[in-house]
Amino acid sequence: MNTSIISEKAKIGKNVTIGHFCIIEDDVEIGDNTTIEHYCLLKKGVIIGTNNVIKSNVELRENTIIGNNCYIDSKVCSSGNCKVGDNVTLRYETILARGVEVGENSYLCPRVMTNNLNNSQNQIGGAKIGRNCFIGTHSVLQYGITLGDNVTVGSMAFVNKDVADGLTVVGIPAKSR
């Protein structure tokens, strides 16, 4: 007996597994060969590609798009209007603020945090993370920044400025190494 609530307006692909106590709202699309574990919330307009693994206690808010072949670990949250490319790993307790974009083949370690509000609480937009990036554990990506392709962010870094392709940044505030 499945205890999940799945909208009749949701589109579920072939070979999809949905665990217990999930809520899947209207206009959600889940691609083929995807596994969604327990206690997940997929809000209206979420699109999930094919061959994905979504662990337990994941919350994806309105209009979040997840590419193909992604691994979304437990307790990952998106605030909505986020785009995650193909072959991306989001490790546990990562927070994607509204409007964050993550490029293909990127890896976000546990507890990476993004935000989209400035000091006056105006929505500026979430960080744009390029392709093939590695973001270390407990890093914070400030609103409105852009990380180029092949960027490495050291653990516990606070990134408050754009980072060009291929650079490694560390520290608070993050600086090129």
Domains in the chain, start-ordered, CATH in brackets?
Answer: 1-75 (2.160.10.10), 103-177 (2.160.10.10)
Residue (of 114, 84, 116, 87) closest to 102 by Cα position? 84
Radius of gyration of the chain, Cα coordinates, nearest whole angstrom: 16
Residue (of 50, 48, 13, 42) closest to 26 by Cα position? 42
Amino acid code (one letter) for 1: M
Can you give the pLDDT at residue 124? 81
Can you give the pLDDT at residue 1? 61
Place of tokens 């994941």: 58
Amino acid code (one letter) for 144: G
Q: Are 149 and 130 in contact (CB under 8 A)?
A: yes
Q: Are 18 and 1 in contact (CB under 8 A)?
A: no
Low-confidence residues of the chain: pLDDT under 70:
1
Q: Using CA atoms, how far apart are residues 42 and 100, in angstroms rounded to an integer?
A: 17
Q: Using CA atoms, how far apart are residues 81 and 149, in angstroms rounded to an integer?
A: 21
Can you give the pLDDT at residue 121? 81
Can you give the pLDDT at residue 139? 98
Give CA torsion, residues 122, 124, 125, 126, to 10 deg.
Answer: -90
With residues binned 3-state (H G I as helix, E B as strand, rest as coil), the percentages for the chain, rounded to 5, are 0, 35, 65
Can you give the pLDDT at residue 138? 98
